[in-house]
Chain A
């Protein structure tokens, strides 16, 4: 379709072009005027078929409109796709729900066995000191201290559970279930039970926690991602060692693989504990509250400070950092959850791009070709002045001498 004015302008242009190229066709061994007339005839025919020139054949152009229709719905579908993806995440959550229960059982059983060896060493010095200290330590300590404090906190809690006995343990399993539902997405992604355990720990912390604790968790999350990426396998081993109070139990139940490692680690752990006691004594002399706390939790730091002992423990130390990582995994899960969130967003972005591409494909249906005199922007408000333009909108050709555009970005 074209307005009469547009049609007239098109006819004018065709005639102008034909007249001005006539010399080229006739002279200099050109193909001759017959070819020129053929050119004009074909051109005008196509224009009439396109509906750009009013003529006997008005509408073969309906095809274009038809093409335009289906295209627009497609982008909508694309947008839906990412959302579906998010929905997909949900069902796995139900699957996840199943694993947490097994976790609970392992927690209970392992505690007596594993707890026995480490507890005597660990519990004596660190527990009393650490249990009260961790919270204040995390509060007062710098960011660095906070993450370490966070990791230690979990073990402390476990130890406390050991000391206290059943009641706290019960609380642990009970808690995860309510929490499980929100995190379920991450859990689904990660089959490994270890992650779940860490996650539970984090939850416990948050629950017990004073207002400050949540912040600590956040730190863990951020730090946790990096650590986790760095050391996945080590993470397990490390997790076993430090978490012997609580997590170690879980590990023993969970991993058959690690049993051998556990034995070795157990030896290491004993070493640690001895060292820990040593270190704990020393750091206490140092006085800073966070230090004892660190000792229990982040024993590696202490080892580092104590150069002499370190050589023997360096071997041990390697696992210790793992422990640090182990504590972090809970945040890691959170991170994964974040990642999940990010992924769908990215998908959406892609979809948007796809939509744009589709729009570009549709250009023939809705297109404005013009020259710009000025384009200005104030914040998200765009204004532009165009001139000498051809619009092809809704299968209509509209020509304009001037156009003003106001867009909101």
Chain B
């Protein structure tokens, strides 16, 4: 199963990465095993988003920068409004990084 490493940049992914770095540097964990944990995280996170999350979000804003490279879209929005079921958030700028969903199904 193909996975994206995309979600490693999320809060939960960064926390896991920091934990693994800490444990590998202390010699408790082998780097190979740490990588396996990360790969498992990629899978589990993707599955959880597909199965555990049902919410919808709408995003509006001024598109400051757009970029499509290596099948990854990157948008930098300014004065963006993000509406979710939990409320609305407004930010001066937000970066959106999106991988091609079709790559996972192949």
On whether the two chains bind one another, the answer is yes
Query: Given that A370-B98, A387-B101 are contacting pairs, would A407 and B75 also be in contact in the complex, using a CB cutoff of 8 Å?
Result: yes
Q: Are B57 and A391 interface neighbours, CB within 8 A?
A: yes
The contact of A403 among B48, B56, B64, by CB within 8 Å, is B56
Instruction: State whether the Cβ of B70 lies closer than 8 Å to any Cβ in chain A.
Output: no
Residue from the list A367, A388, A396 in contact with B49, Cβ < 8 A: A388
Q: What is the interface of chain A, defined by CB distance below 8 A to chain B?
A: 2-3, 5, 8-10, 12-14, 16-17, 20-21, 24-25, 30-31, 35, 38-39, 42-43, 46-47, 50, 52, 72, 356, 359-360, 362-364, 366-373, 375, 382, 384, 386-394, 396-409
A-B residue pairs in contact (CB < 8 Å), sample of 28:
A10-B12, A13-B12, A21-B33, A24-B36, A35-B28, A38-B23, A39-B37, A46-B15, A50-B15, A356-B64, A363-B95, A367-B10, A371-B100, A375-B68, A386-B59, A389-B98, A393-B89, A393-B94, A396-B89, A398-B55, A398-B57, A398-B86, A402-B56, A403-B56, A404-B56, A407-B62, A407-B66, A409-B66
Question: Which residues of the other chain, A, contact B14 by a CB distance below 8 angstroms?
Answer: 50, 364
Choice from B18, B19, B44 contacting A20 with Cβ under 8 Å: B44
CB proximity of B60 to chain A, nearest CB, Å: 5
Instruction: Give the top 9 A-B pairs by smallest Cβ distance, nearest first.
Output: A407-B63, A46-B15, A388-B49, A371-B101, A372-B98, A403-B57, A400-B57, A366-B94, A16-B44
Given A39-B23, A46-B15, A390-B7, A405-B60 contact (CB < 8 Å) = yes
Given contacts A21-B37, A367-B97, contact A9 B56 (CB under 8 A): no
CB distance from A282 to the nearest CB of B (A): 63
B40 to chain A, nearest CB (A): 5
B86 touches A359 (CB 8 A): no
Q: A35-B29, A389-B98, A407-B59 are in contact. List 20 more A-B contacts (CB 8 A).
A: A9-B49, A13-B41, A16-B44, A39-B37, A42-B23, A47-B11, A47-B15, A52-B11, A52-B12, A363-B9, A367-B97, A370-B96, A370-B97, A375-B98, A389-B49, A392-B10, A401-B54, A404-B56, A406-B59, A407-B77
Task: Give chain A residues whose Cβ lies under 8 Å from the Cβ of B46.
Answer: 388
Min Cβ gap A361→B in Å is: 10
Q: Is the Cβ of A42 less than 8 Å from the Cβ of B64?
A: no
Q: Known interface pairs A13-B12, A47-B12. Does A408 touch B49 (Cβ–Cβ under 8 Å)? A: no
Known contacts A17-B37, A368-B59, A391-B82; A52/B101 CB under 8 A: no
Q: Which residues of B contact A35 (CB under 8 A)?
A: 23, 28-29
Which of B10, B73, B93 makes the CB contact (< 8 A) with A362? B93
- Complex CA–CA separation, A122 to B40 (angstroms): 91
Residue of A nearest to B96 (CB): A368
| Contact between chains at B95 and A382 (CB < 8 Å) | no
Which of chain A's residues has its CB closest to B97's CB? Answer: A369
Alpha-carbon gap, A72 to B92, bound state (A): 8
The answer to whether B97 touches A31, judged by C-beta atoms less than 8 angstroms apart, is: no
Q: Which residues of A contact B106 (CB under 8 A)?
A: none
Report whether B61 and A407 are in contact in the complex, using a CB–CB cutoff of 8 Å.
yes
Instruction: A17 to B50: give the CA distance in the assembly, Å.
Output: 16
Is B73 within 8 A of A20, CB to CB?
A: no
Closest-CB distance, A408 to chain B (whole angstroms): 6
Q: Which residue of B lies closest to A408 (CB)?
A: B62
Is the CB–CB distance between A50 and B11 below 8 Å?
yes
Q: Which residues from A are CB-within-8-Å of B48?
A: 9, 12-13, 16
Q: Are B94 and A409 in contact (CB under 8 A)?
A: no
